[in-house]
Amino acid sequence: MYDSWLDLTQQIVGESVLKSSSLSGGCVGQVYSLSFEVSPPLVAKIVTSHFEQLEIEGRTLIYLKENSSIPVPRVLHNDEGLLLLEFIPSDYIMNSEVQRDCARHFSKLHQCSADRYGFEFDTVIGGIVQANSWSSSWLDFFAEQRIQHMAQIAREAGKLGFQDCVRIGKLCHKLDKWLLEPESPSLLHGDAWGGNILFHKDRLSAVIDPACYYGHPEIELAFTTMFNTFGRAFFQEYEQSRPLCEGFFKERRDLYLIYPILVHIALFGGSYINDLDRTLSRYGC
């Protein structure tokens, strides 16, 4: 039995940690960079409460490694209390060349397919469990396991009012007015904002903190515009191999953004309520 995560890490690596530095690591666990005398540096994520689902993150990274070509950190150890990852260097300014390389990788990721929408297990987004039960219909999956599921979580957290939930229900009953079933489900990263995109020397180094499932790639592409993660260079390159259907930016992007808005409402509340109100009003709800 190990007295601490640090003891366990040193046992796994086979030598003592020379230096441990805290990193910003999103919503799940505390994150540290670790350096050693001989072994390459690692990243350690440790749980801080029994509510965190750290092991799911490790399982999802392993799934991406085994089922796609998008770069991810190598997982050295994964359990409920400790996740050890290969350390991936990253720059801070994303130029057009980085965006184009990201587009090529995400295009290849979205070519990975399944026969249904969902995933082998529930994943985690922003520390919130994301339901992934298999469905034969994208519209049903998006309505029930994305919008309504996250609205219920936000409601139970006291961040979303009853009337907002009523409006969301109305929207879910007429999604087919704007959305179509895709040709096939695509493997998605699920949480593709700038903090989860690592890049170095004009190339994508790795994606981290995945919230994977098989869905419509348009929801992923919409998500990348929420905080301006990617821009024109990305979309121009992406469309070289996977052209977007007409109307994505004008009609469907904002509709798909309702899901990440609800995630942020569940986590933070605040001004995201206004974003939801404007979007629901735009679609007549």
Model pLDDT for residues 58-104, shown as the tens digit of each residue: 999 999 999 999 999 999 999 888 999 999 999 988 999 999 999 99
Q: How many CA atoms does the CB half-sphere of 86 hold within 13 Å?
A: 16
Structure letter (DSSP) for residue 117:
B
Q: Which two tokens stand for residue 35?
A: 């350096």
Q: Which two tokens stand for residue 161?
A: 């009012």
Structure letter (DSSP) for residue 215:
E
Rounded Cα gap, residues 151 and 41, in angstroms: 40
pLDDT in tens, 35-71: 999 999 999 999 876 556 789 999 999 999 999 999 9
Q: What is the dihedral of CA 121, 84, 52, 125, to 10 degrees?
A: -60
Does pLDDT of 1 surpass 50? no
- List helix spans (H) across 74-118: 96-111
Could you tell me the domains of the chain? 5-86 (3.30.200.20), 96-282 (3.90.1200.10)
Integer CA distances (angstroms), 228 to 55, 146, 194, 225, 283, in order: 29, 22, 8, 5, 23
> Which helix (H) or strand (E) element contains residue 172?
helix 162-172
pLDDT (average), residues 272-283: 97
The pTM of this model reads 0.95
